[in-house]
A and B are shown apart, each in its own frame.
Chain A
Amino acid sequence: MADTIALIGNPNTGKSSLFNSLTSTHAHVGNWSGVTVDKKLGKLKGANTTVIDLPGVYSLDPLAKDEAVVADYLMHNEPNLILNITNANQLKRNLMLSLDILELGYPVILVLNMIDSLHRTGRQYNLSILKDNLGCKIIATNARGHYGIKDLRNEIVKRGDFKEGPLKIAYPEIVQQAIRQVARDLVKKFGFTLQKATWLSIQYMNKNKYVRKYAESHHLTPLLEQTEYYDRQDFNNKILTRRLEFINKLLAEAVERVNGVNDIEISNQIDRVVTNPILGVLIFILILFLMFKLSFDWVGTPLSDYFDSFISGPLSNTFDNWLIQVGAIPALRSLIVNGIIAGVGGILAFIPQIFMLFACIAILEDTGYMARAALTMDRLMQVFGLNGKAFIPLIIGFGCNATGVMATRTIEQPKERLVTTLIMPFMSCSARLPIYALVTAAVFPQNQALIMLGLYLLGIFVALFMAKVYEVLFKVKENSTFVIEMPDYHVPRLDVLFHSTWENGKGFIKKAGTIIFAGTVFIWLLSNFGPAGFITNSSGSFAAIIGRCLVPIFAPIGITSWQIISSLFTGVLAKEVITSSMMVMFHTSSQAVLVANLTQFISPTTGLALLTFILLYSPCTATLATVKQETGSNKWMIYSLLSSTLIAYIVAFIVFKLSSLII
């Protein structure tokens, strides 16, 4: 079996950052809980070892969905080594998870990360006392400052001389006896190893929700029969108390005073301003504004324009000339130039904007600002029946709805998570930008930025409105919980920003190469073939026939052009495809030409209705698939598709009617 190392630790311990330093392939790193929404794999640098980065969890007893991933992993896998990453400054509570892991009995290296911030408080730990009492190796690191990484890697490669067997904590005799008894039964009847059976029993007594469910579904009768007894005897509190005693005693022994700088913590200073009730909100708005400016105005758009003029100009012409020279048949030339280059190239031109947006999100995550944003927004979000923690996924939704839906896993309460998932598609994702840019350029060339801002705001408004509706329907308020850790601020690390942006952005490039490519070819076929075979005039094509059939449905919201209707249809594949389909339908590879074409087809009022419809209608296939995966049901996926399309139609109708009155 391949050599496998699992990274397990609390959120905000620098786990993913350490993963990046250790491995040659990279995961997404962030500074708030739940950045690693599913396990990520990497290869240890210079060794044939797989490293698995699991989501940050506080304990093995899952409260939020991402936490179940870890319990599930340990239940079904046997890693050769576990790296338990802890925040040295918060060792006391971090060790609660360590005990869970050490009791399992796999070889463990306990990593005291962020050791620098511990030293700043004037403390350090005697590593050999920790080692002797916990029975595992201890290494101190500072992943951000690259301190101790080499030692850690050497220790991983060296392996060897790990203490045999799991950590044994002196639980009260009544608990010990129960553990011995039930573990013996589990070994005998179900073939568990004694080690695993013991661990399973402790977790079960400790009311670990995942393990209890597992025991039920696997009919582990020895445990099930004793449930009432364990709970009546308050076993979980007995275990918790003894563990706390163990940790307190250990840390009291191991702690040493050093000449701490005891500097006025910078984080506290920053927090004084950033979490200021009034100033904090202003800063928050300013940050959002800067984010949009950077992405769509100062950096992203100029680069995109440059890129586009290259693709639609020199690149497209070179290919066209070359194809003429080699004597390609017109149909093939049309497929390559008007189909593939126009469609895929038109989308690739948006890479700068999208990467810029992801880079901004990465900065907010890596500095530790996201947790503050969630806190600042909680009160307001509650008004709409949402949790402050929904805020971060929704912001991520501006980048990509599918990623946003995945990020909702950090919301503990299932109903709040469902509502956040359902309103996610109304967050205007970056894939919708290309088509906004086109339509606004055609209809409102003077007020592009204003109209786009309006669209984002409209999306947010509809999202919040629907959240309120769902709050009443689902009775969300019950059992809502909001407790959030405020990590220390960090200066963002460039390599982390780069990798995070790349990890998120590369999905977009991948899509351009696969689904958008396929979509474009499909659209090209539909618009270049008709009942009469290959045609040069697309008004006789299949696309035209389908589009014309749908005109009566779209006429009430002002859209009467079959080209646009057919393009909208393809947008369900991926929102970027709308633009590329239009390029194909209007037979051009230049945005400027397309804009000129659109100007003839849509009036300002139609433009507004069209933009509204595009903003709100059915989520793309990737998002739909994620909704299904995260809610675990087809029902919510179909609901999401139908409800958002219906809402889009209604709102677009209202916008059309209202704007007809005004304009």
Chain B
Amino acid sequence: MLDYESMMINMKKQYKLNSLLKLNQATVTRLNNLGIHSGSKIKVVRFYPFHGPVIIENNHQRIGIRYSVFKILTSGEENG
């Protein structure tokens, strides 16, 4: 698991999302609604402390998600 410090370093990284399969249906639907599908590329704009929300950016669109969702979304591959 990434800790806060190393996440701050990862801020500039772009993540390519693998699969949304492990998320619950409502979350997947919402992410799809906002233009995020498996294979989408996202950038992290901000992490909140204490595993708080994460603001990501995709296609000029900023979206707030929970840390747990972010972890599932970005588990596995990431492109620098």
Binding site for B on A (CB under 8 A): 58-59, 61, 63, 89-90, 92-93, 96, 121, 240, 244, 271, 275-277, 371, 374-376, 378-379, 388, 412-413, 479, 481-486
Contacts and interface: CB of A to CB of B under 8 A. Distances in A.
B64 A486 contact: yes
B66 A378 contact: yes
Contact of A378 (B26, B27, B31, B52): B52
Contacts of B63: 483-486
Give me the 9 closest cross-chain CB pairs, A-B, nearest first. A58-B33, A93-B35, A379-B52, A483-B30, A486-B62, A375-B64, A481-B26, A481-B27, A484-B64
Given A412-B26, A481-B24, A486-B63, A388 B34 contact: no
Contact of A92 (B52, B55, B59): B59
Interface string B31-74: 11111010000000110111111010001111111100100000
Nearest to A382: B66
A639 B24 CA distance: 31
B34 A58 contact: yes
B29 interface: yes
Chain B contact residues: helix, strand, loop or mixed: mixed
Nearest to B35: A93
10 contacts: A59-B33, A275-B46, A277-B46, A277-B52, A376-B48, A378-B66, A379-B52, A379-B53, A485-B64, A486-B64
On chain B, which size bracket covers the interface? Answer: 20 to 34
A93 to B, nearest CB: 4
Nearest to A413: B26
B53 A375 contact: yes
Nearest to A118: B60
A16 to B, nearest CB: 19
A362 to B, nearest CB: 22
A479 B55 contact: no
Given A375-B55, A378-B66, A379-B52, A485 B26 contact: no
Contacts of A244: 37
Contact of B35 (A90, A413, A484): A90
Given A244-B37, A479-B24, 18 more contacts: A58-B33, A59-B33, A61-B29, A63-B26, A63-B33, A92-B35, A276-B46, A277-B52, A375-B55, A375-B64, A376-B53, A378-B53, A388-B53, A481-B26, A483-B65, A484-B65, A486-B63, A486-B64
A378 B64 contact: yes
A412 B30 contact: yes
A663 B55 CA distance: 49
Contacts of B65: 482-484
